[in-house]
Amino acid sequence: MAMKHIVNTRRSLFWILRWLLWLLIIVCLAILTCLWFMHDLWLTVNPTDKVGGLALSEATTPLHAANLTMESKDRRGDGVLYVVRSGHKNYRFQVSSILRTWGQDIRASPSDGLIVVGDVAVQNPAVLGVLECGKDHSLGLCCKTGYALQFAHHWVDDFAWFFVVDDDTFVNIRNLRQVLSTFSFLEAQALGVLGCGPGFCEDGLGGFCGGGGYALSRAALKRIMANSTSSFQVDLMSHLATERDGMAYDDISVACLLKRHRVRLQPLHGLYAFGSPKQWLDDAYERAITSQSPLPITFHYVGPILMEALHNRFERLSAEGDVAAPESEKRVESSNQSSPPAEAAKFSDFTATFAVLSRLPGTCDKAIVRYVSHPPGGGSSISFG
């Protein structure tokens, strides 16, 4: 009898202890989450005058005084200006990881450049600041993208192409240069992953899935800014691609604007716009990285650690390639862009599905859902998203 009693008491003691432990863990987690949000809020209300050791400045960067964030020694006029949109909370990790990885490739390239356009301006390396747009991923991002294109237009004659990307995107600038060399920058055209947001734009075909980046030719950028940069901004902001709930898509709005001004939109393969659930180099990444057709150009949803890993992997690959077979590159150049192998397609199908399931934060999410649930007939773009 007494024995049973003791066992029972022990059991209930265990039970209570276990629950107490759980409670403790939950309370700790709650406190940590709370602190994290408070820190974010504090940063939002009170941007420090230094982010990642960089001095911040208050005003919007004046166009005429703007400097490139990163540039090659020469500016021969045939390179790519990369246009990254960001916000000060991402400067420390995302932006600095770009500057350490593919930003360095730009510095070493023959004729490319990079501008980072955020909310708060930074000097050296220059981050261009646009305070008036706000920080949201809807109207704010559309407005910021407009300003970013206005900044880009400031250097319109110094570059052949203008490639718009997010701050969580890895770019292989060598592959992009190679693929762009098969298109003319003197034609008013824009290249990217097409098909997001069906129903939007005057033709109802939607626009870019911008997470993988999109390229405007010099002629295209000149055409949309033909009247003035400020009337371009008004044009963009007064014709936004907006859902009924008010969500506005920057990438689709820009694509619609391009089409309104008769800029031709074309698919560009090798842009992995929908990312991967993995933040490390798994087999799917490995297959995409080593694919010869399409050549991998961008990967979206890449955190700082994966950014370094991708950069290192590509460096090793090109070191091996330079030793092994200089011919293979030539073969790629003439290979047909419109027939990527099944493997690359599989990778992106998988990641596209994941993006839909998990609703990764990003401006294109809803558009992806719309896209996947109404795939346009014969559309080719999602396979290489």
Ligand X SMILES: *[C@@H]1O[C@H](CO)[C@@H](O)[C@H](O)[C@H]1NC(C)=O
Interface ranges with ligand X (CB under 6 A): 61, 65-67, 123, 126, 224, 226-227, 231, 235, 261, 336, 338
Q: At what angle do helices 326-334 and 173-180 cross, to 10 degrees?
A: 50
Question: Which among 115, 266, 271, 261 is positioned nearest to 182, based on CA atoms?
Answer: 266
339, 332 contact by CB (below 8 A)? no
Instruction: Give the residue with the Cβ less far from ligand X, 260 or 359.
Output: 260
Query: Rounded to whole angstroms, how far apart are CA atoms 82 and 68?
Result: 10
302, exposed or middle or buried, with CB in 10 Å at 0-12, 13-18, 19+? Answer: buried
Nearest approach in angstroms of CB 162 to ligand X is 16
The distance of closest approach from Cβ of residue 171 to ligand X in the complex, given in angstroms and rounded to an integer, is 24
Of 376, 385, 306, the closest CA to residue 351 belongs to 385
Minimum distance of ligand X from residue 184's CB (angstroms)? 15
Q: Rounded to an integer, what distance in angstroms lies between the CA atom of residue 7 and that of residue 115?
A: 70
The residue (of 83 and 355) whose beta carbon lies closer to ligand X is 83
Instruction: Tell me how far, at minimum, the Cβ of 134 lies from ligand X, in Å.
Output: 21
Burial 215-248 (b: 16+ CB within 10 A, else e): bbbbbbbeebbeeebeebbebbeeebbbeeeebb
The answer to whether the CB of 260 falls within 8 A of the CB of 241 is: no
- Of 33 and 227, which has the nearer Cβ to ligand X? 227
Is the CB of 184 or the CB of 227 nearer to ligand X? 227
Nearer to ligand X, 6 or 55 (CB): 55
- 138: tokens are 């809807």
Complex with ligand X: residue 39 or 264, whichever CB lies closer: 264
Q: Are 120 and 43 in contact (CB under 8 A)?
A: no
Residue nearer to ligand X on the CB measure, 173 or 179: 179
Secondary structure letter of residue 122 according to DSSP: E
3/65 with CB nearer ligand X: 65
The nearest distance, CB 122 to ligand X, in angstroms, is 8
CB of 359 to ligand X, least distance (A): 35
- Cα(341)–Cα(343) distance, integer angstroms: 5
Residue 89 or 223: which CB sits closer to ligand X?
A: 223
Q: How far is the CB of 373 from ligand X (least distance, A)?
A: 28
Q: How far is the CB of 128 from ligand X (least distance, A)?
A: 8
Cis peptide before 294 (omega within 30 of 0): yes
To the nearest whole angstrom, how small is the minimum distance from the Cβ of residue 183 to ligand X? 12
Report the C-alpha gap between 28 and 136 in whole angstroms.
30
